[in-house]
Chains A and B, each alone.
Chain A
Amino acid sequence: DTEVTQTPKHLVMGMTNKKSLKCEQHMGHRAMYWYKQKAKKPPELMFVYSYEKLSINESVPSRFSPECPNSSLLNLHLHALQPEDSALYLCASSPQNRDRAYEQYFGPGTRLTVT
Chain B
Amino acid sequence: AQKVTQAQTEISVVEKEDVTLDCVYETRDTTYYLFWYKQPPSGELVFLIRRNSFDEQNEISGRYSWNFQKSTSSFNFTITASQVVDSAVYFCALKRPDSGYSTLTFGKGTMLLVSP
- Quick one: closest A residue to B4, CB to CB? A42
B interface residues, tally (CB under 8 Å): 24
A43 at the interface (CB under 8 A from B): yes
Chain A contacts to B: CB under 8 angstroms: 31, 33, 40-43, 45, 48, 50, 55-56, 88, 90, 92, 94, 96-109, 111
B13 at the interface (CB under 8 A from A): no
* Bound Cα distance from A40 to B98, whole angstroms: 26
Partner of A101, one of B37, B45, B91, B95: B95
In the complex the two chains form, is A101's CB within 8 Å of B106's CB? no
Q: Within 8 Å CB of B103, what residues of A?
A: 33, 45, 48, 56
Q: Within 8 Å CB of A92, what residues of B?
A: 45
Chain B nearest CB: distance from A8 CB in Å?
Answer: 13
Q: Within 8 Å CB of B43, what residues of A?
A: 88, 90, 108-109, 111
- Asked whether A105 and B47 contact (CB < 8 A) given A41-B108, A42-B106, A42-B107, the answer is yes
In the complex the two chains form, is B44's CB within 8 Å of A97's CB? no
In the complex the two chains form, is A42's CB within 8 Å of B47's CB? no
- Quick one: closest A residue to B50, CB to CB? A103
Chain B nearest CB: distance from A54 CB in Å?
Answer: 12
B69 at the interface (CB under 8 A from A): no
In the complex the two chains form, is A90's CB within 8 Å of B45's CB? yes
